Structure 1
Amino acid sequence: MRAHDKIIAVAPMMDWTDRHCRFFHRQLTRRALLYTEMVVADAVIHGDRQRLIGFSPVEHPVAIQFGGADPERLATAARIAEAFGYDEINLNVGCPSDRVQSGIFGACLMKTPQLVGACVAAMKASVAIPVTVKCRLGVDDQDTEPALDELADAVVEEGCDGIWVHARKAWLSGLSPKENREIPPLDCGRVYRLKQRLPSTFVGINGGVETLEAVGDHLTKVDGVMLGRAAYQRPALLAEIDRRYLGMPSSIQPEDAVLGMMPYIEAALADGVRLHQITRHMLGLFHGRPGARRWRQVLSSQSSGGDLTVLSEALAAVGPEVSAPAAMSEPSVTQLAVA
């Protein structure tokens, strides 16, 4: 990852960006960087690795996000992930959930930048693929100006290949994980200032990115944009991102994405996967189009024990395509390539 690369990514989201979700998203975007859910390093070392971190080659480029705070264990997990074929290792320094607080990792690590630096150094020494960090502006009562700079300086010194910043503080007490995604105010300017201070370091922004226009605006100030809930709830945005920013000549149509999922779903059902485990990620595909409500209804009500006929019935309910809303108008930055 180099400072001049412009990257658009789909954020790591617990319970959302599993392998079925990523395979689906890859039907819509050929070039966006996809992230796994956060996986605890100890689980990778001691658990069922194929179940936890297995993925399809179709998903490339794909990065794995680790949770942990022990440099040696993270290095071991990184070697395992590299052997599995991942394109990047990312360290979670932003999740505020009770689970990570009890393990003293995630957003808690904002308070110990030198430890984060040591974790990055251990992973960098163990693998040849890029090692990045995803963090917050700070936690609790920290002043975000020195807090973010100290974290960034500590990891850059150890060779970190990129910093993704969720442009909000995290509150480790008093707010739930959901509230931490919404209530602390966004401060995109703080992320822009970090980029200005570290011109040779990749700096990407995450948090509250809802429209294609916002993506374009951010890309004039930082090196990358990470989409979270917008990409999940309105996945057709990913196809437009390919066309507008990542050099693809045309957008992939949602109907084609459904057809592309059929062989995958058929194979997954044969392996014992239930249809709803896959189709739950596809509910928002036709957002804003006639028939979208019926599409959701069919998938939601019939996928529990269904087969491919459920998907065919849901697809038949979708009407002709409608115009994109004004909020998704063409931004000023176009044709940005991902290396």
Structure 2
Amino acid sequence: MMDWTDTHCRVFHRLLAPHARLYTEMVHANAVILGDRSRLLAMDPGEHPVALQLGGSEPELLGQAARIGAEHGFDEINLNCGCPSDRVQAGRFGACLMREPALVAESVAAMVARCDVPVTVKCRLGVDDDHEWERFVAFIDTVAQAGCRMFVVHARNAWLQGLSPKENREVPPLRYDWAYRLKLERPQLQVIVNGGIATQEEATAHLAHTDGAMLGRAAYHDPYLLHRLDVAWFGGELRSRGELLRALRPYVESQLESGVYLKHITRHLLGLFAGERGGRAFRQVLSEGAHKPGADWSLVEQALAVTESFAGERADAA
């Protein structure tokens, strides 16, 4: 979710799903320590609960970054052991850490010692040809002994050679049964399943076997799915897309007043009408207009008006 789940995205998703736990983009520990924290750790008070996802493999640096994240108000610090990109591998973090459970455990212990919020791990089932349950559960047990009580399991292997990051999300077969078995055999752990979950029905089915489901790209490309899930799981009234979007107006206008360009916010809104008649027009109006000088909330209303006119045409035809 690099370059996607920034603070503007998370504020929007919080409106859609009041009960969800939101996650930041992965940020390297070095960047947290040495970089522009006002940008990298930007967070609106309305986002909570929100987790900071860290990348890295040096326990001391991860401990420092975890402390900084907790001091900035994040409710959870998550260590990424699942990203398969070449850049991540070159830095010896992400999915390649699945083969270094002792180092992950040392890193988690350092993070736990330096911050007072939960430290969690996002991982794969293994890398390349690692298809042994015993190796996977040994990784989990080693890291759990260091103080991690929640694992987000992307239920497929990561191929470190020969597959692009996109292919790594699609080609290796999903094995949700490993996440289910982990919860069954380690009931004291929180197990969240991730990977390939694209519908409300699929996400809900996982609740019979695990403690929760994490959505990534499906939630970004079809954000209204988050709202449907939140209502289905926690109750409340299903609100229209237009009503939800208009609730974002005070945030958008405050950001514009502080110098943020509209395009940096509206890029996260483009999928709101995914699969709906008028959805393409909604995306087109925002995409073509948000980058122009002086673009403001009126452009969002224009996009909504065009989209809602399609609904009006359906009503007339009926």
| TM over 0.5, shorter chain | yes
1:103 CA displacement = 0.6
Which residues of 2 match residues 281-320 of structure 1 at below 5 A?
A: 281-305=268-292, 306-319=295-308
1:251 CA displacement = 2.3
After superposing the two structures, state which structure 1 stretch, 256-265 or 274-283, moved more: 256-265
Greater relative contact order: 1 or 2 (C-alpha under 8 angstroms, separation 6 or more)?
Answer: 1
What is the CA–CA distance in structure 1 between the aligned matches of 2:132 and 2:235, rounded to whole Å? Answer: 38
Is 1:22 the counterpart of 2:10 in the alignment?
yes
Is 1:147 the counterpart of 2:135 in the alignment?
yes
CA contact (8 A) 2:278 2:310 kept: no
Which residues of 2 match residues 148-167 of structure 1 at below 5 A?
A: 148-167=136-155
What is the CA–CA distance in structure 1 between the aligned matches of 2:137 and 2:13, rounded to whole Å? Answer: 33
Which residues of 2 match residues 116-155 of structure 1 at below 5 A?
A: 116-155=104-143
Match of 2:153, SS state, is: strand
What is the CA–CA distance in structure 1 between the aligned matches of 2:35 and 2:101, rounded to whole Å? Answer: 28
Which amino acid in 1 is paired with 2:226?
Answer: L
Which residue of 1 is the match for residue 246 of structure 2? 259
Runs of at least 5 residues in structure 1 that lack an aligned partner in the other structure: 1-12, 323-339
What is the CA–CA distance in structure 2 between the aligned matches of 1:249 and 1:302, rounded to whole Å? Answer: 34
What is the CA–CA distance in structure 1 between the aligned matches of 2:239 and 2:190, rounded to whole Å? Answer: 28
CA contact (8 A) 1:290 1:320 kept: no
What is the CA–CA distance in structure 1 between the aligned matches of 2:309 and 2:147, rounded to whole Å? Answer: 50
Is 1:242 the counterpart of 2:234 in the alignment?
no
Which residue of 1 is the match for residue 315 of structure 2? none
What is the CA deviation profile of residues 217-263 of structure 1, one whole-angstrom value per residue up to 9, with x for unaligned ones?
Answer: 10000111001111111101111111111x23212332122112212
CA contact (8 A) 2:15 2:247 kept: yes
Which residues of 2 match residues 139-288 of structure 1 at below 5 A?
A: 139-245=127-233, 247-288=234-275
Q: Percent identity?
A: 53
What is the CA–CA distance in structure 2 between the aligned matches of 1:124 and 1:320, rounded to whole Å? Answer: 53
- TM-score norm. by structure 1 comes to 0.88
Which residue of 1 is the match for residue 30 of structure 2? 42
- TM-score norm. by structure 2 comes to 0.94
What is the CA–CA distance in structure 2 between the aligned matches of 1:298 and 1:58, rounded to whole Å? Answer: 28
- Counterpart of 1:70 (choices 38, 58, 79) is 58
What is the CA deviation profile of residues 57-97 of structure 1, one whole-angstrom value per residue up to 9, with x for unaligned ones?
Answer: 10001000000111111111111111111000000000011
Runs of at least 5 residues in structure 2 that lack an aligned partner in the other structure: 312-318
Which amino acid in 1 is paired with 2:41?
Answer: I
TM-aligned CA distance change 1:298 to 1:320, over 3 Å: closer
What is the CA–CA distance in structure 2 between the aligned matches of 1:76 and 1:106, rounded to whole Å? Answer: 18
Which residue of 1 is the match for residue 83 of structure 2? 95
What is the CA–CA distance in structure 1 between the aligned matches of 2:87 and 2:184, rounded to whole Å? Answer: 34
CA contact (8 A) 2:109 2:147 kept: yes
Which amino acid in 1 is paired with 2:296?
Answer: D
| RMSD, aligned α-carbons | 1.4
Which residue of 1 is the match for residue 96 of structure 2? 108
